[in-house]
Amino acid sequence: MFNDDEGERDAWFRALYAETFTVLFRIARRICYSDEAAEDLVHDSYIKAVERWRIFPTLNDAKYWLIRVVKNGALNYVKRKGREQKVYQRYFRETEERSPSPEDDTLRNHDAEALKAALASLPDKFRSVLVLKEYAGLNYKEIGRVLGISEGNVKVRVFRAREALSALLREGTGDVS
């Protein structure tokens, strides 16, 4: 049984969920390359948002805050996994080649593999703008709001990220640029 406050909070959360789930899940999944990790991240981020739901003036404020939280959480997850991977490789004296994950199996296209590898090797600040632009579908103004930078800065970062990505793809076998 909800009291009035909980009922109001529940309605707020349902509206936020309907508005944001797709974009949050895409961002988390594209950075983590794991459905399970993406679900955990998105779940934890919603709980954090609900805990402080009264501080958001509008649903949009909560949306951009959530995107930032999920993006940061996903980047931290990838760094942590990378460190764990190195530890295991050292322990088992494995080569530096990555063994394919179940998620990799779904990406059979060579260009997609090359893009994924190149994107993963970009610095965080470049990877973030490309993920927010291409997978979350945000415009420069919205990306600036999420990252706390100006639209002009977003334009420069997107451009430099694309230049770096194209260079990485040219170095490898992928030739999408």
Partner 1 sequence: MCPDRELLSAFADGEVPSPWDAKLERHAADCPRCREALAGLRRLRAAFHDGAARGDESGLEPARGRVLARVDETLAARRPLRPGLWSRRVSLPLPAAAAAALAVGLLTLAWAATGARNAELRMALNAAPQPMPALASTGMEGILELIARQEAGVNITISLPAGAAVRPSGEPIMVREADFRPGSGQ
Q: Does residue 126 bind partner 1 (CB under 8 A)?
A: no
With CA atoms as reference, report the closest residue to 130 among 150, 115, 145: 115
Residue pair 155/143 in contact (Cβ under 8 Å)? The answer is no
Phi, then psi, of 148 in degrees rounded to 5 = 75, 35
Q: Residue 160 Cβ, how far from partner 1 at the closest point, in Å?
A: 8
Q: Does residue 117 bind partner 1 (CB under 8 A)?
A: no
Choose, by CB under 8 A, the member of 84, 88, 159, 171 that binds partner 1: 159
Phi-psi region of 148 (alpha: psi -120 to 50; beta: other; left: phi over 0): left
Q: Does residue 8 bind partner 1 (CB under 8 A)?
A: no
Choose, by CB under 8 A, the member of 32, 78, 165, 168 that binds partner 1: 165
Q: Does residue 129 bind partner 1 (CB under 8 A)?
A: no
Q: Does residue 101 bind partner 1 (CB under 8 A)?
A: no
Fill in the amino acid letter for 97. E
Q: Residue 68 Cβ, how far from partner 1 at the closest point, in Å?
A: 18
Other beta carbons within 10 angstroms of residue 125's beta carbon come to 13
CA distance 32 to 51: 25
Residue pair 38/25 in contact (Cβ under 8 Å)? The answer is yes
Q: Does residue 173 bind partner 1 (CB under 8 A)?
A: no
Q: Does residue 127 bind partner 1 (CB under 8 A)?
A: no
SS3 4: helix
Residues at the site binding partner 1, with contacts judged by CB under 8 A: 1, 6, 13, 17, 21-22, 25-26, 29, 35, 38-39, 42-43, 46-47, 50, 106-107, 109, 111-112, 115-116, 130, 133-135, 139-140, 155-156, 158-159, 162-163, 165-166, 176-177
